[in-house]
Structure formats: structure tokens, C-alpha cells
Structure 1
Amino acid sequence: MTKTPTNWTGRDDAAVENMIRRGASRRDLLRMLMASGVTAAAGGSLLLKASEAVAQTPTMGGTLRAAGWSSSTADTLDPAKATLSTDYVRCCAYYNRLTFLDEQGVAQMELADSISSDDAQTWEVKLKSGVQFHDGKTLNAEDVVYSLNRHLDPAVGSKANSIAKQMTEISKLDDLTVKIVLAEPNADLPTILALHHFMIIADGTTDFSNANGTGSFISEVFEPGVRSVGVRNPNYFKEQGAYLDSFEFTAIPDNNARVNALLSGDIHLAAAVNPRSLRMIEGQDGVTASISTAGNYTNLNIRLDMPPGDQMDFVDGMKSLINREQIQKSVMRGLAEIANDQPVSPANRYHNPNLAPRAHDPEKAKYHFEKAGLLGAEIPLVASDAAGSSVDMATVVQQAGSQVGMNFKVDRVPSDGYWSNYWLKSPVHFGNINPRPTPDILFSLLYASDAPWNESHYKSEKFDKMMVEARGLLDEEKRTAMYWELQEMIANEAGTIIPVYISNVDAVTTKLGGLQNNPLGGMMGYAFAEYVWLNA
């Protein structure tokens, strides 16, 4: 029978928690508990409870070092041009949005005090008063008007231009009130304004060699493609500011090197590690995995406007050749859900559950390749560690192709420069898309005829028209039906193959507290710096 001393009290629990904070080892703590009459099993339970309590008790101070997987000499502090994870992390730390998404994907107010509309087309945004930029300037309506209007200026090159174009009027009503008029009703506007690109900058800002935002951290070091350092903003408008004194963010493109940096103690967080790397951290003291699923995916893109993708039989052949189950089990080690070649994941309430994934059918694939006249032709598959797990996926495709007479060549290219030199450009290549909170955002960014990231150069007037119509529907039943049909169109007509929705795995030190899931992706939707802390 397990015997726990009757005199064990909450005060003793607090003592154990204090010892954990001081760095006592598990062995020493168990020895102490057992000396007090606690069995090994009960002691283990008490230590788990105490460790969880310590992990969830915010601690002030310290410098967090974290590493993402992608960076470029084109890294930017301009939110409108943000593209990579390193950009998003900096933007979330140095700037704020009008709204932000909580763990459930619900839009909460940030710089906005309220956002309201009677018809989902004309919106009124009231701002919080007294918010200061890092240079001491006070936030006002002009800053919001300027920030949002930048996305409509072609010269800026905003990555959110296709989404922002629905805003036909952005004007000041008074010092703390902004009016936004949309071309068509869109009930998603509060959610849209929570996207990373819609950070608010000071009116007239054109120099982004450094960041002047309202965020919880002040930019101290910015070396594009190398590292960023931010220090706590002492004048942050939120009552609870950042817990950390500072944070340093770098990129380590090589997956194993990123994990080894965590294991050696050089960093506290290794973002988006390959599922195969879980074997490296299993059983290791002081490190653990933070797993979340929000709709991230690595996809195979076939451009429809150039050979071989200009022949739809080649695209259909590839969709039948993909072995989704093998990718889920072997490549992703089970940390993924089977996908159906469209970007709206099961985590989203508009996901079409009736759209079955294409079955792995080598004979059907061979039929389409023969019909396209491409059986036996050498076709490069451009992959890179920059697009997570794409090299392994390409190998699976290559092996499946060899069984039906296809000669796929895995063209593994460096991470550095992948997004600027190969993504969107190569005839057959891989991408990696972070989660987005609404179908309309995914469609506008990736599948509309004028989408900035139209990976397969898919163009359909019918799709474009339906997308706009669905955006303004207030009837949820009709809106859902249209989103389901749009997902079917993408799965059947576009040249993007999405085999699985990937569970995001961030490897972290057990000293890191406060990390939670977020629908915008790993690392708390890239906003982790403001909310996490380091236990001693």
C-alpha cells in the first residue's frame, strides 16, 4: 500500500517548489521526500505537481535565446513585407495589431478598444488612449490610417495587398477613432486585422532599418539573416508587460543543428523541428516537446503555366501518386493529419469533411503520366530544408514514381535563398504555409487569380467570384456550403498537393513557461516573446 505521511502540508509543497526553482535535481528531491516517508511513486507524483506549478508561475527577468528555421538577407522590420518566421517573431515583439487571436482563435482587442459594425461593411475602430511608440510618440488615428493604407500602395509591395484591397476607405473620424469601409461586407474583419502584416506603425514611417513600434520589446540589434535582439519596453501599455528582460532570435536552418543547440544549452527554444528529431530529445533531462496542430503544411506545387504542369494529366497523376499515409507515418512520425489538397484544415470550422483525399493509386497515376506523354521523362522536384520535411516528402514521391516508370530527380537546394530563388518560380517545388485563421485569408493569399503567393498560378474566374461572394455572406449555412465548394475546386483544379496537415513541434527547455497554442502557428503564433518566462 502506498503510504504518504499525514503531516505532509501545502507548506512542504511550497518548499519543494522553491527547491526546484533553485535547481535541485530530481534525484535529490526524491531522496528528500523518501526520507520524509513518501514512497517513490507518491514522490514522483508530488514532484510532477510541483514542477507543473513552477512552470506556470511567471518569473521576471532573464534573456531567452530562440532559433527559427528560416532567415534571409531580405529579413525585414517592415510588417507589410514580412514573409518568414523570423520576420513574424520580430513584428510580434516590436509592434502591436488592432486585434490579436487568443488560443481559441477568437479576436480580442489589442490597440483597438473596440471594433463595431452594423452591416459588416462599414466599421468603426476606437483606439486605446495613452499608448506610446518606442520613440515616445502617442498612438493616434493617423497612425492606423497610414499603416493600413500602406497595404494599398503598390510601391510598398505589401504581402497582404490582396486582402487589404477590400478596404476602400480608411479615414480618421477623430484622434482615437478610425472608419474602415469595405467593398463588400466581411464579418471577418476583426480577425483579419490580427494578421502579422497589419501591425501598426507610426504615421509617415519609411525607414525600417530599426523598429519604432508600440510592442512589448524595443529593437536593440537587427542583423538581417543573422540575429535580432529585443529588450523589454518599460513603457508598454499593457498592465502585464513582458516577463523577459530581453530575447535573442536567430535562425538555424539545419534541423539537427537546431536541436543540438537546444540540447547543448545554447538556446532555449528550437522552433519547428522535424518529427524525426523527437528521438534526439526523448529521455533527455531538461528538454521537452511543445506540440500543436493549427493547419501548417508543406505542399508540392506544380505550376500550371509551364511544363510539365501545363498538362493537367501530369497534375492528376501526381495527386494519385502521392502516398499520404506513408508521409504521415514515416516522414511525420504520426504527427500529422491526412489532408485533401486544400488549405483549410480540420482545426477550422469551415473545413469540408466530405472531401476525400485522393487515394494512393500507382496504376491510375501511370495512366495519367502516359496520357501526358511524360512517362520516363526526368522531372526535377525542387526541395529544401527551408520547407520543412520537403526533402523526405520528395524522396517518397521519387520512390513511388520509380515503381511506375517515372524518373523524378530530387533537387535539394540550400535553405539560404530558397524562398526568393525557387519558391513560386520552379516548375515543381515545395512550399511551407503557416496557419491562417479564416478560409478567405487562405484563398486570398494563395488561390485567387491575383494572389501574391499563388503557388501553382491557379486562375479561375468562377473561384474568384465565389470567394468574394462567400466573404460577405452573413448566412452561416450558405457561407459554409460555398467554402466547401471552393475547397473542392482547389483540390481538383489547382496544382498544389497538400498531403498532410502538420503538427508543429517546438523543442524547448523545461525552464520555459507560458508557451501556449495559437491558431496562427507555432511559438504562440510567433508572439511568444511577450508571454513566456524562464524559470531559474
Structure 2
Amino acid sequence: MTFSRRTFLQGTTAVALASSFGVKAIAAPKRGGHLRVAVATGSTTDSLDPTSTPVTWGFINLATSRNTLVGTDHAGTLIPKLAESWEPSSDLKTWVLNLRKGVTFHSGKTMTADDVVNSLNLHRGENTVSPAKSLLSPVSNVKADGANRVVISLESPNVNFVNLLRDDFLVVAPSKDGEVDRTSTDGTGPYVLESWEAGRSLRYKRYENFWDLNNYGFFDSAEVVVIQDNAARMNALRSGQVDLVNSVDLKTVPMLKRVPKIRVEDTPSGMYYGLPMLTDVAPFNDNNVRLALKYAFNRQEAVNKVLLGHGTAGNDHPIFANDKFNDPTIPQREYDPDKVRFYLDKAGLQSLEIPLNVAEAGFPGAVDTAQLYASSAAAAGIKINVTREPDDDYYERVWLKKPFCAAYWNQAITNDARFTEAFLPDAPWNETHYNNPRVTELVVKARSTLDEGARASIYHELQRIIHDDGGLLNPMFVNYVWAMKDNVKRPEKVSTLGDLDGYECIARWWME
């Protein structure tokens, strides 16, 4: 297979992360001020380790104190970060990254290719528990070629590979003698982490030697606090204790919009709230049971009553309607008690009783969602026993362990990333324990398919398989709803690859 540079550039544009929304900023960025952010999720098990499984607290820290090799600009297009440029081989199996020169860690250490190699290798190998392990599983070798070049070899072609290096976990940390201190506070990001308490707070000051202070690092300092209680978080904003909150209590949106000098923003995204089932655990190992459970959910009711209209109905696969690879021909699954009974009958069941373990840490509104689901399912012959779990440690105790639970997923970097992370059998975050050889075959095939139309057909088939056979019950895609003081400003367009501008609210926003 031949692959010209022009074709590569066209391919990069084709997979650009262009799912961004926003309103126009009032003024150009300026320096100064102290930003106080309150977020809804954090856990005492959170750490600085980029191979751990963080929630919002941890993701913000990765985006604030550290850097990935590539990133996305305000329009969602792939841009250089610590890698200044990149070049694939003609067969798409070797990628050369040219590193930005003169980048220093907060400690003063100069970043080298060895730091990059060792940081990427943290997420590789049999013993790693990194969520990014599956993204790098096709990598056969990572090596330094001098102080400022890294060569990455793949076992098979991947047109999207460089996009995967945007993943939040793939930050670069300092290394010594081939080892990375995974819990170090040291990074190359626009802010120095001055102090932190696991899952509770973070405090930063601007790093004056950051490599791009023209576009990042406008606040003098910033802090993040975790306030899980919705009312307390909203009160902290109204009383002036914080400047910015995420996961606005949707019932309070009309009231917040009437508060002087507070601005509420509603941003459509590809983030979804899901109810994953373990497909290797009875009764979820029977697809007839899975289909019965999918038809027992009234999605529009959840959008109306839980999201209060701040989102759209999901369709049991992970690709957002605005994604260019979304298959619009897949019929929207609706609540249908007759089909519930039909599939229960095919499974040889007259009725069904199952547990559902949820917490607000799974996603905001998960408890109300579960109760609505239990009510609609009961009318169709399924009894769902809802257990509310404690929020703390939910993702360590419940997710990936209980056979039916609640979880959220941010918008995928690429379709390849989502199917690789969540639906391949060896993926650490395969939350449904799904193992379908056809899915694996199609994911690998899409990576080497240059023609965008042909690649779209592959992704369409993947969506249909997950929709018809997978263990994901995806009730709804969710808008990000933030509230902030009116003097907190942001770029005209924001990333929807994660909450609060792809978690870069401290890195990219400013204060008027």
C-alpha cells in the first residue's frame, strides 16, 4: 500500500476532532486572576498516576500540569503539542515524532525523547492497568532516535494512530534510568501543581517557562475543589466561593440564569450515560435478555425527566449523531413492552428479576434514571432491584465488577479509540466484557482503510453490531451544562472531548 504525504494530510483532516460548540468570547485573553473551580466528581483513590482511573478531578490535573504529544485546538482540529510534527511511513506502520525543542519540566529538567519513550511505555505491557493500554496494544516498539525524535512501530497499519496520542492519559512525565515516577507532581504543563489532596482539591500556579504562554496559562493561579452535593456546589457559585462549576443541577438552571453576573452554558456533546451489562455473566450472556432490557427503557422519558431536555436519546451504541461516521439508518430503539415480552419468551423466561447497582458518581442523575427504568421495566414484566452505592470508590468497587451498573463515557477521540477502548476483548475498560471476533476484525480493518467512505461503512457495521448484540444500554447523550461568574471567559469554541473544554478550562480560559 502506498501513502503519499498529501493523502496523509487529507486523512488527518478527515479524522480531525471537529465536534466543538460555543459562544463567542467577549474579549481577547488577558493575564491575571485566580480561578476557583468546583467539580462534582472525585475519589479518595484518585492519584497523580497517569495509568490510574481518574474522574473529573484527575482529568483536570492531567490537562493542567502535564501535556500530551498532540492536542486539539479550539475548533477541535489536531494540533502539535510536545510533538512539533509527525510523519508516517508509506505503509502506516511506522510513525516518526519530531519533539519540540527546549521544553522543560517544572523541575527545570529538559524534556528528551527518553522521557517520551518511557512515558508511553507506562501504558504498554502485560502488567499495566492503564486505561490507555488498549490504544497502544498495536504498538510493537517505541524508541528514541536522538534527543528529539521518537520512532513508533506498529504491528499493523493505522491511519488514525497519531490522533490516539491525544488521549488524556498519554501525558509525558520525567524519567530517570528508564523509569518514570508515576506519582511525581512534575510536568510540562502551563501550571505547576503546588498542593493536592486525593479526589478533594488541587492548587496551581502558572509555570512562567511554559513553552506556549501565548495560548495557555492566562490565570496567575487556580484551584479545584470537589463538591459532590449538587446544592452545595450551586450555593458555592452563588455565594462567590467559586467562579466555575460543572454538572449544574439541571433543576436550578432557570434560577441560575436569573442570578446577576452568573452565566450558564449548555454545550451538546458526544458524552453518554450508559448502563453496561457484563455479557459473560448470566442472564446477560443471553442476547435475548439484553434486547429485552434495552426495549424496557423509556429513553425519551429519561431525557425529559432526568436531563430536563439537556441531551438527546441514545441508541445502544456509542457514536454521537453529530459524528460524521454515525449511521443514521439504524432505527431508534423505543420503549416497547411487547418486544420485551417477545425477547423474554425467546430466552425461555416468563419474567425476569435482576439487580442494578448505581451511584451519582456513575453519572449525575443515575439514581433517578434507575428508578425510572425500574418503573418502565416493571410494566413489561421485568423487576429491577435498584441498589444505591456510595459515591466514593464507585469506579473501583462497582464498575467492571457488578454485572449491571451505571457509567459515563466522554466523547471519543476517534471511532477507532472508542471501539478499541470499550469493545475489544483485551481492553481494560471493556465494561461489558464483550468478545465478538467480527468486531475485532472490523476495528483492525478500519485502521488501514484510507478511503473515508469505505471506513464509514466499517464503522456503520460496528455500530449495528453493538446496537443489536452488545451489552451497552445507552439511554442518552448528554449536554455539558456549566455555570460561571460573568468575568470568566473562554475561547469562541470549546472541545467536547471532556467536560469543561476537554478539561482544559484552567489551561485555556481567562478572567476579564
- TM-score, with length taken from structure 2: 0.90
Residue number in structure 2 paired with 1:523? 500
C-alpha separation in 2, matches of 1:215 and 1:313: 49
C-alpha separation in 2, matches of 1:482 and 1:445: 17
Aligned counterpart for 1:92 among listed residues 41, 59, 63: 63
Aligned counterpart for 1:233 among listed residues 207, 211, 236: 207
C-alpha separation in 2, matches of 1:122 and 1:378: 51
C-alpha separation in 2, matches of 1:65 and 1:365: 48
User: What amino acid sits opposite 2:95 in the alignment?
Assistant: W
Count matched residues: 484
Aligned counterpart for 2:47 among listed residues 76, 100, 107: 76
Give the C-alpha shift of residue 311 in structure 1: 2.6
C-alpha separation in 2, matches of 1:57 and 1:478: 42
Residue number in structure 2 paired with 1:112? 83
Residue number in structure 2 paired with 1:317? 292
1:57-456 residue pairs with structure 2 within 5 A? 57-119=28-90, 120-204=92-176, 205-240=179-214, 241-372=216-347, 375-386=350-361, 387-456=363-432
Structure ranking higher on relative contact order (CA contacts 8 Å, 6+ apart)? 2
The answer as to whether partners of 1:55 and 1:511 remain within 8 angstroms in 2 is no
C-alpha separation in 2, matches of 1:259 and 1:172: 48
The answer as to whether partners of 1:76 and 1:208 remain within 8 angstroms in 2 is no
> SS of the residue aligned with 1:411?
strand
The answer as to whether partners of 2:291 and 2:343 remain within 8 angstroms in 1 is yes
C-alpha separation in 1, matches of 2:255 and 2:126: 46
The answer as to whether partners of 1:100 and 1:110 remain within 8 angstroms in 2 is yes
Give the C-alpha shift of residue 413 in structure 1: 1.5
Task: Tell me which moved more, 312-321 or 199-208.
Answer: 199-208
C-alpha separation in 1, matches of 2:75 and 2:210: 25
The answer as to whether partners of 1:101 and 1:519 remain within 8 angstroms in 2 is no
C-alpha separation in 2, matches of 1:475 and 1:428: 38
User: What amino acid sits opposite 2:119 in the alignment?
Assistant: S
Give CA deviations for 1:113-159 in whole Å, capped at 9, x if unaligned: 11112422211111111111111111111111111122113334221
C-alpha separation in 2, matches of 1:473 and 1:77: 37
The answer as to whether partners of 1:69 and 1:272 remain within 8 angstroms in 2 is yes
The answer as to whether partners of 1:98 and 1:193 remain within 8 angstroms in 2 is yes
C-alpha separation in 2, matches of 1:134 and 1:102: 23
Give CA deviations for 1:469-525 in whole Å, capped at 9, x if unaligned: 111211212111011001111111111111221111112221211154203122110
> SS of the residue aligned with 1:214?
coil
- TM-score, with length taken from structure 1: 0.86
> In structure 2, do the counterparts of structure 1 residues 489 and 53 end up closer, same or farther at CA, with 3 Å as the change threshold?
closer
Asked if residue 476 in structure 1 is aligned to residue 452 in structure 2, the reply is yes
C-alpha separation in 2, matches of 1:534 and 1:251: 21
1:27-66 residue pairs with structure 2 within 5 A? 55-66=26-37
User: What amino acid sits opposite 2:381 in the alignment?
Assistant: G
> SS of the residue aligned with 1:463?
helix
Unaligned runs of 5+ in 2: 1-22
Give the C-alpha shift of residue 210 in structure 1: 3.6
> SS of the residue aligned with 1:295?
coil
The answer as to whether partners of 1:256 and 1:277 remain within 8 angstroms in 2 is no
Give the C-alpha shift of residue 370 in structure 1: 4.6
C-alpha separation in 1, matches of 2:240 and 2:310: 25
> In structure 2, do the counterparts of structure 1 residues 54 and 153 end up closer, same or farther at CA, with 3 Å as the change threshold?
closer
Give the C-alpha shift of residue 61 in structure 1: 1.9
C-alpha separation in 2, matches of 1:418 and 1:239: 37
Give the C-alpha shift of residue 190 in structure 1: 2.3
Larger Rg computed on CA atoms: 1
User: What amino acid sits opposite 2:191 in the alignment?
Assistant: F
The answer as to whether partners of 2:166 and 2:413 remain within 8 angstroms in 1 is no
C-alpha separation in 1, matches of 2:303 and 2:119: 41
User: What amino acid sits opposite 1:469 in the alignment?
Assistant: K
Give the C-alpha shift of residue 208 in structure 1: 3.9
User: What amino acid sits opposite 1:429 in the alignment?
Assistant: C
Give CA deviations for 1:304-335 in whole Å, capped at 9, x if unaligned: 12233123222111111111211222221211
The answer as to whether partners of 1:436 and 1:519 remain within 8 angstroms in 2 is no
Unaligned runs of 5+ in 1: 1-51
C-alpha separation in 1, matches of 2:419 and 2:258: 42
Give CA deviations for 1:188-241 in whole Å, capped at 9, x if unaligned: 122111111111111235434441111100111121122111111011111424
C-alpha separation in 2, matches of 1:244 and 1:53: 20
> In structure 2, do the counterparts of structure 1 residues 351 and 220 end up closer, same or farther at CA, with 3 Å as the change threshold?
same
Give CA deviations for 1:415-436 in whole Å, capped at 9, x if unaligned: 1111111111112111111111
Give CA deviations for 1:240-295 in whole Å, capped at 9, x if unaligned: 24111111112222223222221221111111224333134131112122222221
> In structure 2, do the counterparts of structure 1 residues 182 and 208 end up closer, same or farther at CA, with 3 Å as the change threshold?
closer
